[in-house]
Amino acid sequence: MARSTVYWMDPTDLARLEHENMIVAIATAGAQIDGARVARADGVAIIATGHPMRLFNQVIVDGAPAADAVATDRRRPRCN
């Protein structure tokens, strides 16, 4: 009987890889729509297709620089 090897992977790494796969999948599908704007820069992915489904019209945090900026912004006091 053959023996198998089980590899352990950190759940944080798995979540990061899944998030990356999700962005690529949505961006690839959205880019097929005429007039769509799909861009990734500075830790942000923009998918703007004009399609009525919200899935294809998003701004997604795509990396550490943007995630850090969002976390910093949330800690700032708000003026009302």
User: Has residue 50 been placed in a domain?
Assistant: yes
The reply to whether the predicted model has a pTM over 0.75 is: no
Q: How many CB atoms lie within 10 A of CB 45?
A: 22
Domain that holds residue 69: 35-80
Question: Is 18 domain-assigned?
Answer: no
Confirm if 35 and 50 have CB atoms less than 8 A apart: yes
Residue-wise pLDDT for 19-65, tens only, equals 999 999 999 999 999 999 999 988 889 999 999 999 999 999 887 66
Say if 40 falls within a structural domain: yes
Residue corresponding to tokens 């990356």: 20
As a whole number of angstroms, the distance between CA 50 and CA 72 comes to 31
Does residue 26 contact residue 46 with C-beta atoms inside 8 Å? no
Distance (Å, whole) CA 58 – CA 45? 8
The answer to whether residue 13 is domain-embedded is no
Place of tokens 């708000």: 78
